[in-house]
Amino acid sequence: MTRRIINHPVLDKIDETNVISFTFNNTELRGLKNESLAAALLANGIRTLRVHEESGTPRGIYCNIGHCFECRVTVDGQQGVRACLTPLKEGINVSSGETFLTSVRDWRSENE
């Protein structure tokens, strides 16, 4: 976990002992208990949390404090969960959303 800042010149050293496991898109990963799911995924080098439902473009965290909803994922079957606000628990299964099965054509007049 090279992405973590264990020692800091001003802030206290963090406790990195409480390691738990969880899955993201069926891959088993490790993170620290009660850290945010977004932080745990980033510590594992994962930036893409979902794709835009219509266009399929990849998306990751943007605001990191619950305002933008860009980091929404599915946690144990519950959709629309903001990864940045969700404390990491042992054994949770996280998956990113997919594009809609049926796309909507652009219905604006100039495209008809």
Residues interacting with other proteins, by CB under 8 A?
A: 3-6, 8-11, 14, 34-36, 38-39, 42-43, 47-49, 52, 54-55, 57-70, 72, 80, 84-87
User: In terms of CB distance, is 19 or 85 closer to other proteins?
Assistant: 85
Q: Provide the 3-class DSSP secondary structure of residue 31.
A: strand
Backbone φ and ψ for 36, nearest 5 degrees, come out as -70, 150
Beta bridge partners of 69: none
Closest CB 92 distance from other proteins, rounded Å:
14
Question: 55: how many CB neighbours lie within 10 A of its CB?
Answer: 8
By the 10 Å C-beta count (0-12 exposed, 13-18 middle, 19+ buried), 51 is classed as middle
Q: How far is the CB of 79 from other proteins (least distance, A)?
A: 9
Q: How far is the CB of 17 from other proteins (least distance, A)?
A: 14
Residue 3 or 105 having the CB closest to other proteins:
3
From the CB of 73, what's the least distance to other proteins, in Å? 13
Nearer to other proteins, 72 or 94 (CB): 72
CA separation for the pair 83, 66 (Å, rounded): 9
